[in-house]
A and B are shown apart, each in its own frame.
Chain A
Amino acid sequence: MKVPFSWLKEYVDVDMTAAELADRLALTGTEVERVAAVGIPSGDGNLDRFVIGQVETVAPHPDADKLTLCGVDVGGRVEKIVCGAKNFREGDRTAVCLPGGVLPDGRRLEAAEIRGVRSNGMMCSEAELGISSESAGIMILPEDAPVGERLVDHVAVHDEVLELEVTPNRPDCLSVYGVAREVAAVTGAGLSPEPADDIKPEGHDDIGSLVEISVADPDLCPRYGARLIAGVKVGPSPAWLKARIVAAGMRPVNNVVDITNYVMWTLGEPMHAFDLAKVAGKKLVVRRAREGEKIRTIDGVERSLTPQMLVIADGDGPTAIAGIMGSEASEVSDDTSDILLEAANFDGPSVMATSMELGLRSESSTRFEKGMDVELVPRALAMASRLMTEICGGRLVPGEIDIHGELPPANVVHLRSSRIASLIGVEIDPGETAAILERLGFTVEVEGEGGFRVTVPCFRADVEREVDLIEEVVRVYGLDLIPTTLPSDVRVMGGLSPRQAAEREVARALAGRGLDEVITYSFIAPDYADRLRLAKNDTRRRAVVLDNPISVEQSVMRTIMLPSLLMTVARNAAVRNTGINIFERGVIYLPSEGRKLPDERRVIAACLTDMAGEGWISGGRAVDFYTGKGLVEAVFATVNGSCGLSRSRDPFLHPGKSADIMVGGERAGYVGEVHPLVLSAFDLDIPVTAFEVDLDAIVASSAGTVLFEDLMTYPASYQDLAVVVDDKVDAEKVLETVRSAGAPLLHGAEVFDIYSGEQVAAGSKSIALRLEFRSPDHTLTDDEVNDVRAKIVRELEKKLKATLRV
């Protein structure tokens, strides 16, 4: 909402600069986006160089046919001015820019020789003054414009415009007068009465006999008012009006249209002017559109209407879309003489729905959709009638049309001072509370000790409850006066839940081992399933799909993290980043049968490409399956948990170098080298090892509180054992056999070397194990250890056809 400062000051006697006022408004709830200077620059006395002049003499220029040489009275002296325009006569009053004046476009005017004749100034067109685009002739001022006075004091050729961001609950501030009332309330400045004085009609006819108006759908039109102004002369608006229309950010059209816009800007009530001659059948019906009806709006676009849309129809059909825009058919033109003025109240949601469906917004629709005050209807008609008769000639035809049902009663709200104190934490004097509310337009009666009965004005439909009144009082009282305290009686314990704490531990564990954390969008392109080679019946193909995505790349909610991470790896590889090892904590979204919301699983996922490290000390290793597995084990270790692995059948992983991560017999994720075909589907030419684990499963795997085990009193014995087994026998199978044979004295068994090559038979491998024996109640003897070891060897020979490697 653009509010020209000079216009605002017409209604409120504010003793501040525009910038100071903007600061005050910001702190009382009306955001001012900026204060913009418009028109002629104001600095350095520039405004004094634009004066009202009167043309005294007009003579041809001695050396140029198209120019005239004028003597112009600029106040006490006559200046010679060379002029190219022809639209004036001796005696006309006009705007004169004296030498040194800087125009709105930044040009500085200097006294100059024009074809050999010195010109001491310039008579200005409206375009040159920034008032309108009218550049054909100089601006002619009214006959009573005081010669010699500053132009800016009579026409708003310079202004500061406050650009307000009005919150949706305050449609009353979508008007200069509404803002003036707010300014008066928050600054204490005096407020002038609303400029809605009515005038007396003339003549003996009656609007009711000249036009017939009815409202067929009152649910969408609570009030419809109309007046008739007969015999107007349509033409350009006077300069002051044009200047205001421009300063408000609108475009001057003609005096009739400009007046309707001016009234809207002043009071907030959108108006419409019909050319009565073009109203077919001299009747208007406010009704829902009918299927198939069309209208050509004044912007020249033909629009198809639907039965949800409210229109104003005449004998030929819709001639305006209610509250949004009129039609070309009934538009006011230069030869219009009788104006049918409309001021109405249309249903907000209906206007918004129609506006959205047509893709057509106007200053009118943005006001109606927020819900306007029904009481504005007669006041807007009064103000417009006065301006029309003053500016366009014409007379107000007797009689008025004002169709409405029962108007809503004023809302009454009870307010307790004690409630203000308990909610806000500050005691406000009841007298001050009442004064603030009255300045805002509320009617306040004292009701008991510290209580008030408050009547809400109809323009403040947003105030319905005690708490709404408290907000009004507090924002004007001053939020800066509220003390800063802390809740005094907190009886709860804060902090992270075990799962939240574990999630942090896991993230820190991965970052501590060199992985960088990324955060990617939760939605991805639907082709991820194909790129991952997921089978047709893979449940991860069933994704939650967005109805209105911004792009197909962000159109389905991911069911697996891998695609997002592979794309992130690819993007980093493309810019030659090195050591790309990344992880993400994210959510996957799995549609759940029969429930409204999908199952959201928090997971941790990683992609590894290079753990060798850089620099002059080598020692790290490239990435393979075991890198991934090691990190997965490290992740589980952070919560003192563990997982099992079983061979994976995930089609996006290397079939021989991948595993399902198992927790409590359930699949909790995967780890493995990414399938070469998947790598190429994501434009990657470097190997990637990936894993993804469900965070809840990690937490569930935790062994919980650790209980002490005495490993110090009786020392352990250690023995190494190397056995040769068939290549196909997994290390885990060997370990299982060793453990079961070695119980209970075998305390641990670890693989420390794997060998296959010349020294063992083809198709077999040597597995070297370190065995730890101990007893909780004595130090083991060599004989005890050797017996167990011999049993282990026997079992390995029997069950796995293993041979002892010597």
Chain B
Amino acid sequence: MDLKRELKKHAGLKAMHEEAVADISSAGTPDEVEDARVRHLGRKSGLSQLLRSIPELPDDEKPVVGKLGNQVRAALEQQLADRRRELEEGELSERLATEQVDITLPGQPFPRGHLHILTQTIWEIEDIFAGLGYRIAEGPDIETDYYNFTALNTPEGHPARSSHDTFFIEGQPDVLLRTHTSPVQIRVMEKEEPPVYVVVPGRVYRRDSDATHTPMFHQIEGLAVDRNITMGDLKGTLEMFVKAVFGADREIRLRPHFFPFTEPSVEIDVSCMICGGSGCRACKFIGWLEILGAGMVDPKVFGFVDYDTEDFQGFAFGMGVERIAMLKHGMTDLRMFYDNDLRLIRQF
């Protein structure tokens, strides 16, 4: 301690310093700290008086007292500040200690609404395909039979065209509620030349209402037309989609099927996400769940939109959004989606 050793040179300053240090240390409140400051550093304090008297001191004492006196002042000011902060923090801690809350009470509620689970499912699927380079295309719910059937190679007299299965518009026998999102394929291809990569979400309508059918439901359609699109590309694309939606462990398998607007046509199964493929009630003990219809676009469809079938080929696929959501979330009754009971909607 330099200051202590130096103070040996001046008994008066030494005494002043010792007294002040003791006084500040014993101050118990910020007010007492202030009193001590006035007492020891104020204008009337011994230190101030000593420093003021320097010009009257002998020349050899002047530098010693001046330097030492200012060192003492600085040291005491530091001590005062420290002591004041110490006391203030103590007071704050005491006050905070009395202000404890019940941290187990719920937090302030910020409103949180919910997107319908079908919306969440559609957006998830759209985003997967957007990432693969697809645009989102849309088309009207109320369609002509040309776009809904004829241009999709579904001939006159086909059962789907009957008023038993399809809703028709009064007074307009050639206008109907679209039974699938596929007419948008035709509308897109009429407007654009390949390459075409689109997915089409939307409401579709069929004249069916029971435990496993609602008269309105949602589909997502996909269409890729380009120069060298193969069925292998279809398989790879849908495998990527299935793994993105249902998990990387899922596998797909293709089964031949029949649709008027694709050839070859396939149905696509995903390995059961409940049992992993070993067989359970959900997959009817087959280990596979049907989720998609797909195929290579039939040349007749390209004929309706004037695409050259030797130059271009493509694939199309379609899926029921409700089915995807039901499989993913373990729902069992299709009609729940349209009951709009908030006890369901708020779960997702």
Residues of A whose CB lies within 8 Å of any CB of B are 26-29, 31, 167-170, 349, 352-353, 356, 422-426, 465, 467-468, 470-471, 474-475, 479-480, 482-497, 500, 504, 507-508, 510-523, 544-550, 554, 557, 568, 571-572, 575, 577, 579-582, 585, 587, 589, 596-598, 600, 611, 613-617, 619-620
For the complex, what is the distance from the CA of A550 to the CA of B230, rounded to whole Å? Answer: 41
Q: Which residues of A contact B229 (CB under 8 A)?
A: 487
Are B216 and A516 in contact, with the CB atoms below 8 A? no
B345 on the interface (CB 8 Å rule)?
Answer: yes
**Bound form: Cα–Cα A467–B131 in Å:** 31
Contact of B142 among A479, A547, A554, A589 (CB under 8 A): A589
Q: A423-B230, A582-B340 are in contact. Are A513 and B111 (CB under 8 A)?
A: yes
Within 8 Å by CB of B298, from A467, A490, A616, lies A467
Q: Is the CB of A550 within 8 A of B207?
A: yes
Given A470-B264, A600-B141, verify A349-B233 contact (CB < 8 Å). Answer: no
Complex contact A487–B119 (CB within 8 A): no
- Which residues 116-162 in B have Cβ within 8 Å of A in the complex? 116, 118-119, 123, 126, 129-136, 138, 140-144, 157, 159, 162
Expressed in whole angstroms, the Cα–Cα distance for A495 and B198 within the complex equals 9
In-complex Cβ contact of A519 among B167, B215, B239, B337 (8 A): B337
Docked CA distance A426–B108 (Å): 61
How distant is A236 from chain B, measured CB to nearest CB, in Å? Answer: 37
B50 in contact (CB, < 8 A): no
Inter-chain contact B172/A596, CB cutoff 8 Å: yes
Do residues A482 and B163 form an inter-chain contact, with CB atoms below 8 A? no
Q: Which residue of A lies closest to B314 (CB)?
A: A487
What CA separation (Å) do A488 and B235 show in the bound complex?
13
> Known: A484-B236, A487-B237, A615-B106. Is A549-B340 also a contact (CB below 8 A)?
no
Stretch at the interface among B32-40, B54-62, B63-71, B220-228: B220-228
What residue of chain B has the Cβ atom nearest to residue A488's Cβ?
Answer: B228
Q: Which stretch, B77-85, B250-258, B275-283, touches the partner chain A?
A: B250-258
Are the C-beta atoms of A519 and B142 separated by less than 8 Å?
A: no
Closest chain B CB from A621 CB (angstroms): 12
Bound-state CA distance A70–B227 (Å) is 81
A489 to B337, CA, bound (A): 39
> Which one of B157, B237, B257 contacts A486 once the chains associate, using CB atoms below 8 Å?
B237
Contacts of B182 in A (CB 8 A): none
Q: Are A474 and B231 in contact (CB under 8 A)?
A: yes
CB pair B136 A497 closer than 8 Å = yes
- Taking the closest CB of chain A, its distance from the CB of B233, in whole angstroms, is 5
Are A494 and B129 within 8 A (Cβ)?
yes
Q: Which of B112, B136, B256 has the most CB of A within 10 A?
A: B256
Minimum CB–CB distance for B105 against chain A, Å: 7
Cross-chain contact A167 with B118 (CB below 8 angstroms): no
Instruction: Determine the chain A residues whose CB is within 8 A of the CB of B296 once the complex forms.
Output: 423, 467
| Interface pairs A-B: 5 shortest CB-CB | A514-B111, A425-B232, A29-B256, A425-B230, A471-B264
A349 partner residues in chain B, CB cutoff 8 A: 157
The answer to whether B168 touches A548 (Cβ under 8 A) is yes
User: If A467-B263, A486-B236, A494-B131 touch, does A519 touch B116 (CB 8 Å cutoff)?
Assistant: yes
CB–CB B345/A479 < 8 A = no
Given A168-B258, A425-B232, A475-B264: A494 and B197 within 8 A (CB)?
Answer: yes
> How many residues on B have C-beta within 8 angstroms of the other chain's C-beta atoms?
89
**Which of chain B's residues has its CB closest to A519's CB?**
B116
| A479-B195 in contact (CB<8A) | no
Instruction: Report whether A425 and B233 are in contact in the complex, using a CB–CB cutoff of 8 Å.
Output: yes
The 9 listed contacts between A and B (C-beta, < 8 Å) are A170-B258, A422-B313, A467-B298, A487-B237, A517-B114, A517-B116, A547-B173, A557-B141, A589-B141
Q: Is the CB of B254 within 8 A of A479?
A: yes
Write the nearest CB–CB distance from B142 to chain A, whole angstroms: 6
Q: Which of B144, B173, B230 contacts A597 (CB 8 A)?
A: B144
Which B residues touch A620, using CB under 8 A? 111
Known contacts: A479-B266, A548-B207. The answer to whether A572 contacts B255 by CB under 8 A is no
B15 within 8 A of A: no
Taking CB as reference atom, which chain A residue is nearest B114? Answer: A516
- Interface membership of B89, Cβ < 8 A: no
CB-defined contacts of A426 to chain B, threshold 8 Å: 232
Among A468, A544, A614, which residue has its beta carbon within 8 angstroms of that of B169? A544
CA distance in complex: A467, B231 (Å): 12
Output the nearest chain B residue to A545 by Cβ-Cβ distance. Answer: B170
Decide if A577 touches B131 in the complex (CB within 8 Å): no
Measured between alpha carbons, how far is A495 from B132 in the docked complex, in Å?
9
Chain A's closest residue to B112 (CB) is A514
- Beyond the given A485-B236, A550-B215, A585-B119, please list 6 additional residue pairs across the A-B interface where CB-CB is below 8 A: A484-B235, A486-B240, A511-B114, A519-B340, A520-B340, A568-B340
Bound-complex Cα distance A195 to B342 (A): 63
By a CB distance below 8 angstroms, the chain B residues around A511 are: 112-115
Q: What's the least CB distance linking B254 to chain A, in Å?
A: 4
Chain B min CB distance to A690 (Å):
16
Are the CB atoms of B136 and A31 closer together than 8 Å?
Answer: no
A571 to B177, CA, bound (A): 27
Chain B residues with CB below 8 A from A471, complex form: 256, 263-265
* B99 interface residue per 8 A CB criterion: no
Q: Is the CB of B195 within 8 A of A492?
A: yes
Contacting pair B141 A521 (CB below 8 A):
no
A485-B130 CB under 8 A given contacts A522-B203, A544-B169, A597-B175: no
Residues of B near A170 (CB, < 8 A) are: 258
Residue B343 CB within 8 A of the other chain: yes
**Chain B residues within 8 Å of A29, by CB:** 255-258
- Contact: A577 with B342, CB < 8 Å? yes
Q: Please tell me which one of the listed residues A479, A485, A504 contacts residue B233 in the complex, with CB atoms under 8 A apart.
A: A485
Is B342 in contact with A422, judged by CB distance below 8 angstroms? no
Query: Which residues of chain A are near B233, meaning CB under 8 Å?
Result: 425, 485-488
CA distance A613 to B205 in the complex (A): 37
* CB proximity of B212 to chain A, nearest CB, Å: 15
Instruction: Flag if B108 contacts A617 (CB, 8 Å).
Output: yes
How far, in Å, is A84 (CB) from chain B's closest CB? 42
Q: Shortest Cβ distance from B221 into chain A, in angstroms?
A: 15
- Proximity string of chain B (300-315) to chain A, C-beta cutoff 8 Å, 1 when within and 0 when not: 0000000000000100
A486 to B238, CA, bound (A): 9
CB pair A496 B142 closer than 8 Å: no
Report whether A547 and B170 are in contact in the complex, using a CB–CB cutoff of 8 Å: yes
Decide if B215 touches A422 in the complex (CB within 8 Å). no
With known contacts A479-B255, A615-B106, A424–B231 Cβ distance under 8 A: yes
Distance, CA A577 to CA B345, complexed state (A): 12
